[in-house]
């Protein structure tokens, strides 16, 4: 019941915040930067991830989602974080782990704080605009093609669930 109330409260808050675009520049695990603004015009699914989490198997589904909808414009951005003490010790280790175990090709940030006072500015903005903070690894945030927040999901929601694929399909240009 608490989860249902929390989800309902967030959904109501997200509607009010929908007019303020979310922005963020992340350091890329491959070098360079990943700027959410560069993907304006396409929906972006941002997911905080961790290599040693019970939800790590969702990397397969995230890659499938990216592969399925990339030609239509979707970008799936993985943001590794050690905020829940389940990430590997270096960016190189995370990159190797994801390539070897999941053949990931989707954009990935470097290990990034997503909660608390050290949270990345994107996640601080998300908290300010919509009251959403990751509670665990693999929480998901869908940003519309205009940069506004469309919806969020917690870890337990599979990236290939109808909830997410339906929202992604509705957001595609």
**Helix or strand run (H / E) with residue 44:** strand 44-49
Based on the residue annotation, tell me whether 53 is a catalytic residue of this protein. Answer: yes
d(CA 133, CA 124): 8
Tokens of 2: 């608490």
Residue 148 backbone dihedrals phi, psi, to 5 degrees: -90, 155
Helix, coil or strand: residue 12: helix
Active-site option among 42, 44, 53, 88: 53
d(CA 120, CA 60): 25
Is the Cβ–Cβ distance between 53 and 94 less than 8 Å? Answer: no
Long-range contacts formed by 166-169: CB under 8 A, 24+ apart: 167/142, 168/43, 168/45, 168/65, 168/69, 168/74, 168/142, 169/69
Positions marked active-site:
53
């Amino acid at each position: 019941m608490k989860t249902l109330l929390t989800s309902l409260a967030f959904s109501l808050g997200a509607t009010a915040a929908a007019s303020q675009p979310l922005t963020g520049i992340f350091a890329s695990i491959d070098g360079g930067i990943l700027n959410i603004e560069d993907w304006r015009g396409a929906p972006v699914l941002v997911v905080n991830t961790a290599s040693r989490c019970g939800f790590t198997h969702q990397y397969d589904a995230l890659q499938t989602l990216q592969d399925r909808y990339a030609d239509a414009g979707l970008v799936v951005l993985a943001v590794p974080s050690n905020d829940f003490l389940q990430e590997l010790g270096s960016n190189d280790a995370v990159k190797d782990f994801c390539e070897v175990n999941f053949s990931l090709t989707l954009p990935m940030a470097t290990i990034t704080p997503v909660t608390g006072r050290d949270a990345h500015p994107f996640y601080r903005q998300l908290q300010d605009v919509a009251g959403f903070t990751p509670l665990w690894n693999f929480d998901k945030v869908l940003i519309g093609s205009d940069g506004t927040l469309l919806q969020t999901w917690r870890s337990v929601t599979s990236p290939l669930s109808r909830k997410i694929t339906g929202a992604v399909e509705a957001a595609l240009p």
